[in-house]
Amino acid sequence: MTDKQATRNVTVSNREGVHLRAATSVVNLCRRYESAVWIAKGNHVVDAKSPLQLLGLGAGPGEALVLKATGPDADQAIDALARLFAAHFEETPDDPGPSSRPSTAEEGNTENDSGE
């Protein structure tokens, strides 16, 4: 019996691209499937079950990617992965991202914090 193959085009639609948290979501999802899953950006193809390879892809917002899977559950893996991309990796669209949030020290920094 031959393995199934599935391919789907997606666009990175979240604000930060495929950063560490998004890559972790992709890896955790893909590892649920028996099929081999790859993500391609142009000629650069990486294993979707490897967080370091995903980060090395450097996929930013608005970039087109190709999802590929080969194995007994390839269709299910690609469907689930495409849904994750469409859901912005389950991040809140209005979330300004970690780079624009004030740190705890900045939030509580006032001149009277010293207790004097």
Which DSSP symbol is given to 68? Answer: E
C-beta of residue 82 within 8 angstroms of C-beta of residue 74: no
The amino acid sitting at 37 is V
User: Where do we find the tokens 């780079």?
Assistant: 99
The catalytically annotated residue of 10, 12, 18, 19 is 19
How far is 46 from 67, CA to CA, in rounded Å? Answer: 10
Question: How many angstroms separate the CA atoms of 84 and 91, rounded?
Answer: 10
Q: Is 44 a catalytic residue?
A: no
Active-site positions read 19
